[in-house]
């Protein structure tokens, strides 16, 4: 079984530092199921490839088992395990690349935290659930997936394809994240594990899934398969994943949204924002609208009051926010027509999600500043490349205006969960880059009183597909 990892990040031989394996050496490691070797088929400044070769000894696998576990059948000795990527490869990654997997590198601490171009090649990956499941697992994480189905037997084409695929995965990503994704997802695709799965497997899943599994659209299926369909363990894992996800956003967001409102209250900026956005959506003739990061549903509520919107969808990563939205909207006694047009979806803007496709317009009202800067690129692809609505309306605070807010100490952002607030130049620079990269036009406007010196408190960008 072979796994290769290639980078073109220069100098490419830095991959050796990240993996803690010298590119000039071939090293071997004993595992309790065979031997793992690491070597570099190529190692130049431009391109470097590290290979992990796993030589599984099928006899040693059987030897460890007690006779009481059943009669030894031929299948125990002759099977696909030595030739395919499976939980054996995950364990080998954890043992051989332990430091890289945990995201440490004394020599190049900055590079560990840098997303670099990486390509993984897995010549034989069992994909139970087919190519579509393979894509559902890796594409939301930003991978470009190339998969070629392998025939069952070249001499008998009539037998059709096997469950195995030759797979290449390409992404610009931190090496430790890539190794974590492989560690968790290979056994999930294989739908098998070579060892007993107990409570400590939940801890492993949460540790290696940190930062990506909580929001992954397939998190239920991943947890279920990873934990060998043991309902109790799967429930334990999902409860913690959901709890962490929400604790992260809810506790901060709910209380702090009120703080932000208090600061902006004087000019009831929130109301002006909503009115401006609704007017813009009408002007654009949008019928199907998706509000990304809808929060407690303030915009949704205004959209429902209009007759011209046929489909109104709210999306938020926070269950709690969606629950509040649902409760508030129900209190408005929606008509049957309004109920039919409304949909609330839990999902994250940084993971590709086909449920976001097919809209005339998407809105991101005071949302981008809640995303970590290094997740913005993921959101850009999800919204502009994959969901690709005809128009996108985005608003975000104009930091230049903050000096005009009385309750806001100098240099502080309007909301504790804001990861950044931008000047007009910064926002326009970024938005223009997005428009060029994804084939949109963009126009800017201010919302709220227009101060000659510092502009308006809220800045808005309206993107339209450039056709």
Q: Which residues bind ligand SAH (CB under 6 A)?
A: 249, 253, 293-295, 298, 316-318, 321, 348-350, 365-367, 370-371
Q: What is the 3-state secondary structure (H, E, C) of 135-174?
A: HHHHHHHCCEEEEEEEECCCCCHHHCEEEEEEEEEEEEEC
User: Tokens 């401006």 label which residue?
Assistant: 276
Nearest to ligand SAH of 177, 201 (CB atom): 177
| Closest approach of ligand SAH to the CB of residue 456, in Å | 16
Find the shortest distance in angstroms from Cβ 199 to ligand SAH.
30
* Rounded Cα distance, 150 and 162, in Å: 6
Q: What's the closest the beta carbon of residue 316 comes to ligand SAH, in angstroms?
A: 5
Q: H or E segment at 60?
A: helix 58-63
Q: How far apart are CA 435 and CA 384, in angstroms?
A: 9
Q: Considering beta carbons, is residue 56 or 317 the nearer one to ligand SAH?
A: 317
Residue 136 beta carbon to ligand SAH: minimum distance, rounded to whole angstroms: 18
The CA-based angle 261-262-264, given to 5 degrees, is 65
Q: 25: which residues sit within 8 A by CB, 6+ positions away?
A: 39
Residue tagged 């594409």 (tokens)? 139
Smallest gap from residue 10 Cβ to ligand SAH (A) = 31
Residue whose Cβ sits closest to ligand SAH: 295
Residue 248 CB, nearest distance to ligand SAH (Å)? 9
Q: Spell out the alpha helix ranges (H) of 212-296.
A: 219-226, 231-246, 252-264, 269-284
State the virtual CA torsion across 210, 214, 216, 221 in degrees, nearest 10: 100
Q: Measured from the CB of residue 351, what is the shortest distance to ligand SAH in angstroms?
A: 8
**CA separation for the pair 111, 170 (Å, rounded):** 18
Q: Alpha-carbon distance 189 to 201, whole Å?
A: 17
Rounded distance between C-alpha atoms, residue 392 and residue 414, angstroms: 24
């Amino acid at each position: 079984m072979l796994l290769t990892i290639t980078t073109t990040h220069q100098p490419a031989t830095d991959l050796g530092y990240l993996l803690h394996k010298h590119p000039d050496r071939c090293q071997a490691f004993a595992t309790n199921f065979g031997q793992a070797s690491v070597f570099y088929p190529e190692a130049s400044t431009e391109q470097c490839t590290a290979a992990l070769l796993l030589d599984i000894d099928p006899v040693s696998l059987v030897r460890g088992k007690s006779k009481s576990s059943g009669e030894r059948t031929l299948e125990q000795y002759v099977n696909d395990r030595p030739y395919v990527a499976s939980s054996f490869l995950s364990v080998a990654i954890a043992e051989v690349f332990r430091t890289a997997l945990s995201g440490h590198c004394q020599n190049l601490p900055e590079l560990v935290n840098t997303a670099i171009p990486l390509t993984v090649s897995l010549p034989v990956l069992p994909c139970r659930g087919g190519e579509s499941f393979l894509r559902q697992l890796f594409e939301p994480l930003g991978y470009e997936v190339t998969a070629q189905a392998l025939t069952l037997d070249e001499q008998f084409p009539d037998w059709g394809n096997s469950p195995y695929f030759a797979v290449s995965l390409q992404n610009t990503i931190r090496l430790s994240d890539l190794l974590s994704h492989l560690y968790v997802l290979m056994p999930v695709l294989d739908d098998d594990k070579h060892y007993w799965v107990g409570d400590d497997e939940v801890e492993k899943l949460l540790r290696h899934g940190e930062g990506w599994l909580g929001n992954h659209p397939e998190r239920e299926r991943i947890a279920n398969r990873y934990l060998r369909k043991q309902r109790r363990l799967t429930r334990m894992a999902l409860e913690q994943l959901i709890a962490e996800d929400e604790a992260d956003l809810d506790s901060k967001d709910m209380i702090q949204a009120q703080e932000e409102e208090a600061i902006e209250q004087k000019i009831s900026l929130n109301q002006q924002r909503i009115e401006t956005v609704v007017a813009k959506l009408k002007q654009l003739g949008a019928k199907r609208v998706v509000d990304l990061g809808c929060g407690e549903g303030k915009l949704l509520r205004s959209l429902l009051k209009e007759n011209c919107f046929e489909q109104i969808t709210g999306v938020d990563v926070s269950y709690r926010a969606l629950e509040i939205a649902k409760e508030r909207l129900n209190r408005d006694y929606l008509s049957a027509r309004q109920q039919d047009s409304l949909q609330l979806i839990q999902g994250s803007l940084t993971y590709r999600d086909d449920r976001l496709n097919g809209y005339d317009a998407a809105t991101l009202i005071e949302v981008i500043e809640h995303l970590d800067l290094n997740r913005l690129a993921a959101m850009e692809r999800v919204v502009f490349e994959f969901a690709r609505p005809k128009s996108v309306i985005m608003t975000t605070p104009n930091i230049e205006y903050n000096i005009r807010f009385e309750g806001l100490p100098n240099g502080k952002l309007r909301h504790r969960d804001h990861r950044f607030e931008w000047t007009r130049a910064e926002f326009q620079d970024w938005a223009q880059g997005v428009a060029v990269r994804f084939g949109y036009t963009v126009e800017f406007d201010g919302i709220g009183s227009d101060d000659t010196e510092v502009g308006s408190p809220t800045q808005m960008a309206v993107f339209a597909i450039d056709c």
